[in-house]
C-alpha cells in the first residue's frame, strides 16, 4: 500500500527535525544529562513537528543504546515502538477522548509499571480539547505522576489550557519553519523519490505551506501525481493558483470606484459555481498582499505567489492608496463574519463591493479615512470603464476648452465631441446657446454639489468660496452650474480653474463632465404676445374683452 510522503519521511531522530533547533537541542541536552522532566508541553501551529518530536522523545527515553540524545532506531525497544508492538507508548486523541472517564482510566493505568520499556509515556494530542472536568482530573497525576510515567501534551491552541496545567509542564514552542528550510527538505525528498523539483517550485510550495512542513510534503505528493519533474507551472496548476485574474479585476474596480463592473464580475463567478465566502477570503488575501507590498521594503518572502504574479501585484499596488487597501480588508473581514452568521453570501459580498466602490455609502472609520485622504491629496478616482469620457476620446490638440465668446462671464458648454471654438464650427452646427437650451430641458439637480464645493477647497479656496450657495444640475455629459454671482463664472473662464472644478467633480462622482451655465428659461413678456397687444388696444377703445 502506498504511504504518503509526510508519513514516509517523518523524522526518526532529533537531528532530522527541520527548523526547530530551539526544541531539539534542549531535549537532546536533557536526555544526555539525564534531566528528563515528568511532563512536557509542545505548542505551535500545525505541521511544525510537535507530534513527531513527542514520538522521538518517547523512543529516546526508552532507547537501550541512545546516541547523543537521539534514539538508535536499531534496538528492540526502538523497533517495537516503530511497529507498535511495545504497548508502553500510549497516544491519546483528546478531541475524541475528552471526558472525565477517559482521564480516570488513564490515571488507573498509570499506576502499573511498564511491560517492556523503562518509561510509560502518554502522548496527549490536541490537549486543549479536554473538558474542564477532565483537566481537573488530570491535575494531581500531572503534578506528581509515578516515577515511571512521562506526559507529553501537544496543542495548537495553548491559550485554551488552564494556568494550572501550564505551570505543571515544561513548555516548548514550535515556530513556523522558514520557507528556505522547507524548500531544502523538499529537494532532499524529491531526490530520494527518483524525482526532481526546481528551486523556484520548491520555494513556492514552501510559501504555500505557510511554515508547515507536513502541508508542504502533501502538496509535493500531489505534484508528483502530475509529473516527476516538478516545475513552477506544475505547482501553480496543482495548488489552484491559476485563474486568479478575477481578483485583480475586482481590486481594479474598487480602485476606479466602478460598482457596475464589480457586480458583473460577481455575477459571472456565481454563475460558474464560485463560493462567495471563498471568493471573499481570496480577495481579502489579495488586498493583504497589496498592503504588504505597499508598506514593506522587501515583502517577497511573505507572499506565496509566482514571480509573474508578484510583478502584477507590485504594479497594482502603485495605483491603489493604502487607505483604500485597509478599507477593503476591514470591509471584507466584516463581510466574512456576516456570511458565517447565516446571511445570504452573495448579497453580503455584493453589498461589501458596493460600499468599497462607493465610500460615501459606508459610514465606517476606514471609509471616512479613505474619503479624507482623497480630499487631502486631491487624488480623484479614475473614470470607470463603463462610462468613458468623451473628452478622453478627442484628439490631444482639441482637448483644451476655448475661452467663452460672450462678455457675460459665463463659460459656455461646448458641443459634445467637438472641442473647437464656435467660430470654427461649420454653419450647420448648433450654436452653444441652443445646445445649453436643449440640455436644460432634461436637467436634474446634482445632489452631491455641496460635497463637490468642499472638495474644491483642496484645489482653490477662492473658487470654492465663489461657489458658496450655488446649485448644479446634471444633463447627459454636462454639469450645469447656477451661481448667485458672476464672479464664479469669471474665475471659471481660466483653464486651470475649470480643470480644478472637473477634478473636484470627478473626485466625488467618479466621472468626468463638461461644464456649462444653467440659465433659467425666459418667460414671454405680455409686450411680445400679439393677442395681449390686441386685447390691450380693444380695452383702450372701450371694447370689453373677456380672456379665458
Secondary structure (DSSP) of 412-475 = PPPPTT--S-GGGS-TTSPPHHHHHHHHHHT-EE-TTHHHHHHHHTTT-HHHHHHTTT-EEEEE
Quote the CA–CA distance of 421 and 403 in Å, as a whole number: 8
Residue length of the chain:
548
On whether both 141 and 203 belong to a single domain, the answer is no
**Does residue 414 carry a pLDDT above 50?**
no
Residue 533 domain-assigned?
Answer: no
Residues 417, 419, 422, 427, CA torsion sign: negative
Quote the CA–CA distance of 214 and 102 in Å, as a whole number: 29
Residue 397 domain-assigned?
Answer: no
Last residue of a domain, one of 239, 262, 278: 239
Average pLDDT, the chain: 81
**Does residue 193 carry a pLDDT above 60?**
yes
On whether both 288 and 221 belong to a single domain, the answer is no
Angle between helices 132-143 and 100-110 (to 10 degrees): 20
Quote the CA–CA distance of 108 and 105 in Å, as a whole number: 5
Residue 78 domain-assigned?
Answer: yes
pLDDT given for residue 83 in this prediction: 86
CATH number at residue 202: 1.10.8.60
C-alpha cell at 366: 476606514
**Does residue 373 carry a pLDDT above 90?**
no
Question: Which residue in this structure is represented by grid cell 441652443?
Answer: 434
Residue 195 domain-assigned?
Answer: yes
Q: What are phi and psi of 92, to 5 degrees?
A: -120, 130
Rounded to two decimals, the pTM is 0.60
Residue 522 domain-assigned?
Answer: no
Least confident stretch, 145-149, 239-243, 286-290? 239-243
Which one, of 193, 217, 194, 188, lies nearest residue 205 by Cα? 217
pLDDT given for residue 413 in this prediction: 41
Residues 69-94: what's their mean pLDDT?
Answer: 89
pLDDT tens digits, residue range 418-436?
333 333 333 333 333 333 3
Residues 324-351: what's their mean pLDDT?
Answer: 90
pLDDT tens digits, residue range 498-540?
888 888 888 787 778 888 887 665 555 555 567 677 777 776 6
Q: List beta partners, residue 516.
A: 480
Contact present, 469 and 412 (Cβ < 8 Å): no
- Higher-pLDDT residue of 263 and 387 is 263
Least confident stretch, 80-84, 301-305, 445-449, 507-511? 507-511
Quote the CA–CA distance of 431 and 282 in Å, as a whole number: 54
**Does residue 328 carry a pLDDT above 60?**
yes
Last residue of a domain, one of 146, 174, 202: 174
pLDDT band at 442 (very low <50, low <70, confident <90, very high): low
On whether both 151 and 53 belong to a single domain, the answer is yes
Angle between helices 245-256 and 276-295 (to 10 degrees): 70
Residue 37 domain-assigned?
Answer: yes
C-alpha cell at 475: 444633463
CATH number at residue 288: 1.20.272.10
pLDDT tens digits, residue range 452-499?
888 888 777 778 888 888 888 888 788 888 887 777 778 778 888 888
Q: Which residues of 5-36 are buried (b: 16+ CB within 10 A; e: fewer)?
A: bbeebbbbbbeebbbbeebbeebbebbeeeee
On whether both 18 and 157 belong to a single domain, the answer is yes
Last residue of a domain, one of 189, 207, 239: 239
pLDDT given for residue 521 in this prediction: 59
pLDDT given for residue 306 in this prediction: 79
Pairing state between β 196-197 and 170-174: unpaired
On whether both 11 and 136 belong to a single domain, the answer is yes
pLDDT tens digits, residue range 138-148?
988 888 889 99
C-alpha cell at 177: 519553519
Residue 395 domain-assigned?
Answer: no
pLDDT tens digits, residue range 77-89?
999 988 888 888 9
* Sheet of 89-93, strands arranged across: 89-93, 120-125, 149-155, 39-44, 170-174
On whether both 142 and 205 belong to a single domain, the answer is no
Residues 400-406: what's their mean pLDDT?
Answer: 39
How many domains does the chain divide into? 4
Residue 149, SS3?
A: strand
On whether both 227 and 318 belong to a single domain, the answer is no
**Does residue 412 carry a pLDDT above 80?**
no
Residue 146 domain-assigned?
Answer: yes
On whether both 22 and 169 belong to a single domain, the answer is yes
**Does residue 383 carry a pLDDT above 60?**
no
Residues 372-396: what's their mean pLDDT?
Answer: 46
Q: List beta partners, residue 471.
A: 482
On whether both 157 and 61 belong to a single domain, the answer is yes
On whether both 459 and 325 belong to a single domain, the answer is no
**Does residue 287 carry a pLDDT above 90?**
yes
**Does residue 62 carry a pLDDT above 70?**
yes
CATH number at residue 169: 3.40.50.300
On whether both 150 and 41 belong to a single domain, the answer is yes
What is 244-290 written as a DSSP string?
Answer: -HHHHHHHHHHHHT-HHHHHHHHHHHHHTT--HHHHHHHHHHHHHHH
pLDDT given for residue 487 in this prediction: 79
Quote the CA–CA distance of 365 and 515 in Å, as a whole number: 33
pLDDT given for residue 18 in this prediction: 92
pLDDT given for residue 527 in this prediction: 52
On whether both 150 and 187 belong to a single domain, the answer is no
Residues 34-41: what's their mean pLDDT?
Answer: 92
Domain of 331 in residue numbering reads as 245-377
User: Measuring CA to CA, how many Å separate 341 from each of 338, 345, 497?
Assistant: 5, 10, 51
Strongest mean pLDDT among 172-176, 354-358, 377-381: 172-176
pLDDT tens digits, residue range 196-233?
999 989 988 998 888 899 999 999 999 998 888 999 88
C-alpha cell at 395: 484628439
CATH number at residue 465: 3.30.300.180
Contact present, 178 and 212 (Cβ < 8 Å): no
pLDDT band at 402 (very low <50, low <70, confident <90, very high): very low
Quote the CA–CA distance of 438 and 518 in Å, as a whole number: 11
Amino acid at each position: 500500500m502506498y504511504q504518503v510522503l509526510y508519513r514516509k519521511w517523518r523524522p526518526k531522530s532529533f537531528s532530522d527535525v527541520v527548523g526547530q533547533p530551539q526544541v531539539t537541542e534542549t531535549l537532546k541536552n536533557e536526555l544526555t544529562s539525564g534531566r528528563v522532566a515528568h511532563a512536557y508541553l509542545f505548542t505551535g501551529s500545525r505541521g511544525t513537528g510537535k507530534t513527531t518530536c513527542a514520538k522521538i522523545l518517547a523512543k529516546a527515553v526508552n532507547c537501550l543504546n541512545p546516541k547523543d540524545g537521539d534514539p538508535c532506531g536499531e534496538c528492540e525497544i526502538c523497533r517495537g515502538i516503530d511497529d507498535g508492538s511495545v504497548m508502553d507508548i500510549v497516544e491519546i486523541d483528546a478531541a475524541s477522548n475528552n471526558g472525565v472517564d477517559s482521564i480516570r482510566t488513564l490515571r488507573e493505568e498509570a499506576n502499573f509499571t511498564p511491560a517492556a520499556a523503562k518509561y510509560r509515556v502518554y502522548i496527549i494530542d490536541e490537549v486543549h480539547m479536554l473538558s474542564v472536568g477532565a483537566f481537573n482530573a488530570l491535575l494531581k497525576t500531572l503534578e506528581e505522576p509515578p516515577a515511571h510515567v512521562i506526559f507529553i501534551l501537544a496543542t495548537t491552541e495553548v491559550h485554551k489550557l488552564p494556568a494550572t496545567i501550564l505551570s505543571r509542564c515544561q513548555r516548548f514552542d514550535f515556530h513556523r519553519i522558514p520557507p528556505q528550510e522547507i524548500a531544502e527538505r523538499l529537494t532532499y525528498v524529491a531526490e530520494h523519490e527518483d524525482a526532481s523539483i526546481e528551486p523556484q517550485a520548491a520555494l513556492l510550495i514552501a510559501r504555500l505551506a505557510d511554515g508547515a512542513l507536513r502541508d508542504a510534503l502533501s502538496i509535493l505528493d500531489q505534484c508528483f501525481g502530475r509529473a516527476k519533474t516538478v516545475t513552477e507551472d506544475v505547482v501553480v496548476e496543482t495548488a489552484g493558483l491559476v485563474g486568479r485574474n478575477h481578483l485583480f479585476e475586482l481590486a481594479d474596480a474598487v480602485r476606479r470606484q466602478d460598482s457596475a463592473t464589480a457586480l458583473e464580475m460577481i455575477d459571472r463567478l456565481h454563475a460558474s459555481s464560485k463560493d462567495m465566502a471563498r471568493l471573499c477570503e481570496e480577495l481579502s488575501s489579495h488586498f493583504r498582499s497589496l498592503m504588504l507590498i505597499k508598506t514593506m521594503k522587501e515583502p517577497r518572502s511573505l507572499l506565496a505567489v509566482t514571480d509573474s504574479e508578484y510583478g502584477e501585484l507590485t504594479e497594482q499596488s502603485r495605483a491603489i492608496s493604502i487607505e483604500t487597501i485597509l478599507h477593503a480588508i476591514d470591509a471584507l473581514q466584516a463581510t466574512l463574519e456576516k456570511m458565517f452568521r447565516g446571511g445570504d453570501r452573495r448579497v453580503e459580498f455584493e453589498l461589501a463591493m458596493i460600499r468599497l466602490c462607493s465610500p460615501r455609502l459606508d459610514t465606517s472609520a476606514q471609509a471616512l479615512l479613505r474619503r479624507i485622504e482623497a480630499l487631502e491629496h486631491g487624488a480623484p478616482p479614475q473614470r470607470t470603464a463603463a462610462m468613458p469620457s468623451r473628452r478622453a476620446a478627442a484628439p490631444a490638440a482639441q482637448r483644451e476648452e476655448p475661452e467663452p465668446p460672450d462678455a457675460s462671464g459665463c463659460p459656455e458648454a461646448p458641443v459634445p465631441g467637438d472641442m473647437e471654438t464656435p467660430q470654427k464650427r461649420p454653419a450647420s452646427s448648433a450654436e452653444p446657446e441652443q445646445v445649453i437650451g436643449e440640455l436644460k430641458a432634461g436637467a436634474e439637480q446634482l445632489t452631491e454639489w455641496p460635497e463637490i464645493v468642499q472638495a474644491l477647497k483642496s484645489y482653490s479656496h477662492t473658487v470654492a468660496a465663489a461657489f458658496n450657495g450655488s446649485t448644479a444640475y446634471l444633463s447627459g455629459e454636462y454639469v450645469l452650474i447656477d451661481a448667485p454671482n458672476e464672479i464664479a463664472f469669471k474665475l471659471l473662464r481660466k483653464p486651470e480653474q475649470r480643470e480644478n472644478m472637473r477634478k473636484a467633480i470627478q473626485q466625488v462622482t467618479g466621472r468626468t463632465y463638461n461644464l456649462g451655465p444653467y440659465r433659467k428659461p425666459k418667460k414671454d413678456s405680455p409686450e411680445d404676445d400679439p393677442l395681449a397687444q390686441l386685447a390691450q388696444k380693444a380695452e383702450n377703445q372701450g371694447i370689453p374683452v373677456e380672456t379665458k
